[in-house]
């Protein structure tokens, strides 16, 4: 490896101001919510995607490993850090072009630095009737990167990579990748048809380091005539299994009309609505169940809270409401249907109530109103306060950045079969493991289909305490280890979990290694990423 020679060549290509030294790189990219640390050799800030082929040719010639990021806001999974020490970060955040938009069909082509918030402003400015594929990570996060991580959301197209059609990528030796259909049939068809022609290879660029994706076409869901949320609660934890069976029924009968359904335990909702009760912890450092129940009464939050989305015409949504009421009869409490507008009115009314009751109900109602804006395809920060729950330091400016602000957060995100016994076993496992490490058991289920849910468990901790960082890291690894033989395993992992993941594979690792040897024999691009 000849880093000095590579830096000279990169400086000539990009300009001195866009090549950062290790100290500058650490200051800008070194903070991570999980408490991971990496030695960063340098950073290259890219202003033109046409520079990327030469950037990689230089890396290849001098055997210098590089690691691409988009906005670097991969909070809970590594933030902007490489999977291994000694990499040069390739920052694509300045590539903010919306390169093409098909206003008739709602297909947008974006560069890596285009965020949820940027696309929302673009669609609003043009009065285009389409939804942003939002996530809870907030308006400052990359659309392209989330799709490449095979992320998901709550708008009609739940699986964000399923909406990806065409991509362009630069391979480790600096050569270009184009889809076969784009080259043989033209860009218009490539943007409209996901599978292309011949072997399907676009998926190889997800959760991998096979190339730097420089642009991506995404099919957007059309904004429907009616968007509503079904909000309900379970007044007893024992109703969880029955509720899951009823939700499967709803999803099976109403595909396309009902989007993702979230089911959150009381702990999780309180972490988004109520201050962390630091002065009321038990001897084990955790919030006693009696305190959780008391806070639940104060903030009107029951043991489980359900949150489902409905999309369609007014008549279709009205009919779906009747089906949902029937399916949840005898199980759900406080079953209501709200539009984003009615939720905002409710928040305003609750906020006018006097005293502490008004403040508590106003907080819960405001969280609900922001959540409804999210399902309507309008990105916001409604989920980000979770990361600050155990961090006494408020955001340093109006935009939240959990890594910069010192928050401790690691995501455990396993797939769970939507079977009653599997769901109950999973809840019991999470409670047992998290408490073993002094972590609050915050659980959300999000339906991916009528057969499978993804659960997200945010491991929230004080990042300025080395002991708490070690406990949180141990908790994550314990969850993965304990959950695997029970049938629960993450759909994505952070940089600290990638080596463990590879160690659990055999033939899959061999196949990927053969591809890597062909495309990147010197292991230049994103070493250690999912391998």
pLDDT of 376-421, one tens digit each? 788 888 888 899 999 877 776 778 899 999 999 999 999 999 999 9
- CA distance linking residue 262 with residue 154, whole number of Å: 8
- As a whole number of angstroms, the distance between CA 404 and CA 48 comes to 26
Specify if 170 maps to a domain: yes
Contact 112, 167 (CB under 8 A): no
- Do 334 and 239 have their domain in common? yes
364 φ, ψ (degrees, to nearest 5): -65, -45
What are the tens digits of pLDDT across the range 9-32? 999 999 999 999 999 999 999 999
Contact by Cβ (8 Å): 485, 425: no
Within this chain, do residues 349 and 474 fall inside the same structural domain, yes or no?
A: no
Around 435, how many Cα atoms within 13 Å sit in the side-chain half-sphere? 15
pLDDT (average), residues 228-247:
95
- Please choose, from the candidates 134, 91, 131, the residue with its C-alpha nearest in 3D space to the C-alpha of residue 113: 91
Q: For the domain that residue 141 is a member of, what is the CATH number? A: 3.30.465.10
- Cβ-in-10-Å burial (0-12, 13-18, 19+) of 18 comes to middle
Nearest to 136 by CA among 503, 446, 488, 521: 446
Together in a domain, 180 and 258: no
Residue 188 counted as domain residue: yes
Task: Categorize the per-residue pLDDT at 74 as very low, low, confident or very high, splitting at 50, 70 and 90.
Answer: very high
Question: Does residue 468 form part of some domain?
Answer: yes
pLDDT in tens, 175-195: 999 999 999 999 999 999 999
297 part of a folded domain: yes
At 352, is the pLDDT very low, low, confident or very high (cuts 50, 70, 90)? low
Q: For residue 410, what is the enclosing H or E element?
A: strand 407-412
**What's residue 343's pLDDT?**
53
Q: Which strand (E) or helix (H) includes residue 11?
A: helix 3-14
Residues 143, 211: Cα–Cα separation, whole Å: 17
* 369/232 same-domain check: yes
Name the least confident of 187-191, 277-281, 359-363, 415-419.
359-363
Identify the residue whose tokens are 């673009």: 122
Same domain, 109 and 139: yes
Contact 431, 481 (CB under 8 A): no
What is the residue-averaged pLDDT of the chain?
92
Same structural domain for residues 479 and 446?
Answer: yes
Specify the pLDDT at position 364. Answer: 57
Domain stops at, among 376, 394, 410: 376
Residues 233 and 347 in one domain: yes
Both 348 and 457 in a single domain?
no
Among residues 328, 346, 376, the one where a domain terminates is: 376
- 360 lies in some domain: yes
Strand spans (E) along 187-328? 212-219, 226-234, 258-265, 304-312
Domain count, the chain: 3
User: Is there a single domain that holds both residue 448 and residue 350?
Assistant: no
| pLDDT greater than 50 at residue 358 | no
Tell whether 20 is covered by a domain: no
CATH number assigned to the domain comprising residue 311: 3.40.462.10
Q: Give 331-344 pLDDT, tens digit per residue.
A: 999 999 988 666 55
Task: Residue 301: name the closest of 328, 267, 325, 276 by CA.
Answer: 267
Higher local confidence (pLDDT), 348 or 149: 149
Distance (Å, whole) CA 95 – CA 168 = 14
Please identify which residue in the block is written with the tokens 């000095």: 4
Rounded average pLDDT over 300-315: 94
In this prediction, residue 236 carries a pLDDT of 95
Q: Note the pLDDT of residue 361.
A: 46
pLDDT at 83 over 70: yes
Same domain, 370 and 241: yes
What DSSP designation does 159 have?
B
| Residue bearing tokens 């070194």 | 30
For residue 357, what pLDDT is reported?
Answer: 46
Ordered DSSP codes for 211-243: -EEEEEEEEPPBPPSEEEEEEEEESSGGGHHHH
Residues 207-218 pLDDT 10s: 999 999 999 999
Q: Is residue 52 part of a domain?
A: no
Residue 513 lies inside a defined structural domain of this protein: no
Domain boundary residue among 191, 219, 247? 219
Residue 334 structural domain: 226-376
Q: Give the model confidence (pLDDT) of 457-513 as tens digits.
A: 999 999 999 999 999 999 999 999 999 999 999 999 999 999 888 889 999 999 999
Residues 277 and 234 placed together within one structural domain of the fold: yes
Q: Helices 355-375 and 289-299, interaxial angle, to 10°?
A: 80
**Distance, CA of 56 to CA of 529 (rounded, Å):** 17
> Are 319 and 436 within one domain?
no
323-327, 371-375, 383-387: range with highest mean pLDDT: 323-327
Q: What pTM value is reported for the model?
A: 0.93
What DSSP element (H or E) covers 490? strand 489-490
């Amino acid at each position: 490896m000849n880093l000095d020679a590579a830096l000279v060549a990169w400086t000539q290509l990009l300009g001195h101001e866009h090549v950062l030294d290790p100290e500058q790189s650490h200051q800008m990219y070194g903070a991570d919510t999980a408490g991971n640390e990496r030695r960063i050799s340098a950073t290259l800030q890219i202003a033109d995607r046409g520079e990327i082929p030469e950037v990689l040719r230089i890396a290849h010639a001098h055997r210098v490993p590089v690691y691409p990021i988009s906005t670097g806001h991969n909070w809970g999974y590594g933030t902007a850090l490489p999977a291994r020490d000694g990499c040069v970060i390739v920052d694509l955040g300045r590539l903010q072009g919306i390169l093409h938009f098909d206003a008739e069909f709602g297909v947008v082509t974006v560069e890596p630095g285009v965020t949820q918030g940027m696309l929302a402003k673009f669609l609003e400015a043009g009065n285009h009737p389409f939804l942003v594929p939002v996530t809870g990570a907030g308006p400052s996060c990359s659309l392209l990167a989330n799709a490449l991580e095979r992320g998901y959301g709550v708008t009609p197209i739940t699986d964000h990579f399923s909406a990806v059609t065409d991509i362009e990528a630069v391979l480790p030796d600096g050569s270009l990748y184009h889809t076969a259909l784009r080259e043989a049939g033209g860009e218009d068809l490539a943007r409209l048809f996901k599978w292309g022609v011949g072997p399907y290879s676009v998926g190889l660029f997800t959760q991998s380091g096979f190339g730097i994706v420089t642009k991506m076409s995404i099919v957007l869901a059309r904004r429907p005539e009616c968007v509503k949320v079904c909000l309900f609660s379970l007044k007893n934890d024992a109703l969880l299994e029955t509720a899951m069976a009823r939700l499967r029924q709803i999803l099976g009968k109403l595909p396309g009309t009902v989007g993702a359904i979230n089911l959150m335990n009381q702990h999780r909702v309180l972490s988004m609505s109520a201050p962390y009760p630091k002065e009321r912890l038990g001897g084990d450092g955790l919030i006693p169940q009696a305190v959780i129940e008391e806070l639940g009464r104060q903030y009107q939050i029951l043991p489980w809270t359900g949150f489902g989305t409905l999309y369609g015409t007014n008549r279709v949504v009205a009919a779906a409401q009747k089906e949902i009421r029937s399916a949840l009869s005898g199980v759900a409490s406080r079953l209501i249907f709200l539009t984003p507008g009615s939720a905002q009115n409710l928040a305003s009314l609750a906020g006018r109530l006097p005293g502490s009751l008004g403040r508590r109900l106003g907080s819960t109602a405001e969280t609900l109103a922001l959540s409804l804006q999210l399902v309507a395809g309008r990105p916001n920060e409604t989920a980000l306060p979770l990361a600050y729950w155990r961090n006494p330091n408020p955001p340093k400016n109006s935009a939240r950045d959990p890594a910069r602000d010192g928050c401790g957060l690691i995501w455990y995100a396993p797939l769970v079969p939507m079977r009653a016994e599997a769901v109950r076993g999973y809840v019991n496992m999470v409670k047992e493991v998290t408490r073993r490490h002094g972590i609050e058991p915050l659980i959300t289920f999000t339906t991916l289909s009528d057969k499978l849910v993804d659960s997200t468990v945010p491991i929230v901790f004080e990042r300025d305490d080395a002991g708490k960082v070690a406990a949180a890291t141990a908790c994550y690894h314990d969850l993965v280890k304990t959950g695997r033989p029970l049938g629960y395993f993450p759909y994505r992992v952070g940089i600290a979990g990638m080596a463990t993941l590879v160690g659990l594979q055999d033939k899959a690792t061999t196949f990927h290694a053969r591809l890597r040897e062909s495309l990147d024999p010197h292991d230049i691009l994103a070493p250690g990423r999912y391998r």
